[in-house]
Chains A and B, each alone.
Chain A
């Protein structure tokens, strides 16, 4: 906008200068597109066109094994989805996990970030490193290790429970205990959330705390009225990503139960079931329908969260 105004202004002075400007514009456009060319290519060929292609596939019975017998089947894949009990179950599994994991992760993540952000804490870097470590390793490795720790007969957790007289549950083979088990493993990898929240907290201007101190606000008040409101965009971003993450949940369910979705479908997460349909059963039409439903869910969640964020997220410098 500003450049336009300048261009008009200079056009009134001399036409020659105006030509210089548009030459500059053309030059910038050319070079800008050169710098962006890898991304633009990837965006069209591997993002935009595939999104549309997935939609088209979702109306067919496409299978990579028998591509020649592909026909349009209308909305059959979508009606199959509604009729498929496993799809309904995978929704329930995903939502059940999200309801359990989200509040716990957020509370513990905030608590942890607050503590390791404290200026009075000794050994800050030491604690940050230790709490971050489990988040850095492959989920596969984490799953393998935790499967050993949570083993019903030989694992350390049940050994600890039994030593105080509590019979240890069958963590990974019970349709009930598998969820606490997944949440516990998730909490082990809390470091990611801790680090993003910590970065948000460190972005809060020190002057705010200093002036609050002068006004007589205690630490608790400072946290409640300065820290929390100012990092609310970070909390909001993480909340959004965690909800979407539940619909992308895959690795841990795959490795703990070898992709079977067991026990009795309790780990048949939406994304895992999608993967199995598309790449194990070769039902790519059906998989595409599931992928588009996922896309719409993620889109809807994002839009809901962003349009309501004005009510509960604080942006410094007014609304954005």
Chain B
């Protein structure tokens, strides 16, 4: 009897702590949303319900010289192209590592996994010089083009999933005269949908949130991404007292990710479970 009482008390404490922690997690979001609807004069009032509420901050995002729509568009295009490039080339490499056996494949796979551990800083300067030589610095090309030559994380994730697809399907298709490309395109890509969805989400999130690479390749506002733009306008706007506008920008920068996450939460969790890692 005493034991169950103790256990109930422990449960209660756990729930209270979880809820308190949850409030701490959500609090900053609520504050951001509230501030983004406040008048600039009310920016530091400690209320969570804006009174009066206004859409002025969002309008200002579009009228200011920060050219928010352009930043948003740049981030969207770069992220989508990155997703397309990674899905295609990582799937190709993963198909090879899962299905096509040949001498030296094991060595190449080890090499691929080793690249997971290479810090990007050690390749960044020569890559910058290459893109500068190609006159592509200042454009979005250096940000999405590298996605088209695969990557260790995506390849590993997709390979783990492809290995679970029964091999008999390949043999049967071979008997029917299908080429390896057809097997890849018609069998593995459609069956690999859950893993591809997970990769798409990770990749989108990674490209959308990236700061270092846009800072290197597209450093000048307004022809840059949302992250660089927000970092730049943080100094501008807080100095000028337009904190409310900054919060409106932050809110809009988060929105696409929140939407993607809520629609694809299941694939997201499965993807992590699949590879056992998260970038």
Contact = CB atoms under 8 A, between A and B. Distances in A.
Contacts of B25: 130-131, 133-134, 188
Contact of B227 (A45, A131, A140): A140
Contact of B247 (A29, A139, A148): A148
Chain B: interface residue count, which band?
Answer: 35 or more
B93 interface: yes
B100 interface: yes
B153 to A, nearest CB: 12
Interface string A104-119: 0000000010010000
B276 A199 contact: yes
A145 interface: yes
Contact of A199 (B11, B132, B272): B272
A14 B89 CA distance: 40
A220 B256 CA distance: 41
B26 A130 contact: yes
Chain A: interface residue count, which band?
Answer: 35 or more
Interface centre among A35, A131, A258, A298 (most CB of B within 10 A): A35
Specify the main secondary structure of chain B where it touches its partner.
helix
Contacts of A51: 118, 122-123
A278 interface: yes
B184 interface: yes
Contact of A139 (B28, B129, B209): B209
Interface string B142-161: 00001011110001000000
B96 A36 contact: yes
27 contacts: A25-B103, A32-B96, A36-B92, A36-B93, A38-B148, A43-B112, A43-B115, A46-B130, A46-B149, A47-B118, A51-B123, A53-B126, A54-B125, A133-B25, A137-B258, A138-B254, A141-B253, A145-B31, A146-B28, A149-B27, A149-B31, A202-B273, A255-B231, A275-B215, A279-B215, A279-B216, A291-B119
Given A112-B21, A145-B29, A248-B119, 9 more contacts: A39-B92, A47-B115, A127-B18, A146-B28, A199-B276, A202-B273, A241-B277, A254-B231, A255-B231
Interface of B: 11, 14, 18, 21-22, 24-29, 31-32, 35, 44, 46, 89, 92-93, 95-96, 100-105, 108, 111-112, 115, 117-130, 132, 146, 148-151, 155, 180-181, 184, 205, 208-209, 211-212, 215-216, 219, 226-227, 230-231, 234-235, 238, 243, 246-247, 250, 253-254, 257-258, 261, 265, 269, 272-273, 276-278
Interface of A: 3, 25, 28-29, 31-32, 35-36, 38-43, 45-47, 49-51, 53-54, 57, 64, 112, 115, 120, 125, 127, 129-134, 136-149, 151, 153-154, 156, 159, 188, 192, 195-196, 198-200, 202-203, 233-234, 237, 241, 244, 247-248, 250-251, 254-255, 258, 271, 274-275, 278-279, 284, 287-288, 290-292, 294-295, 298-299, 302
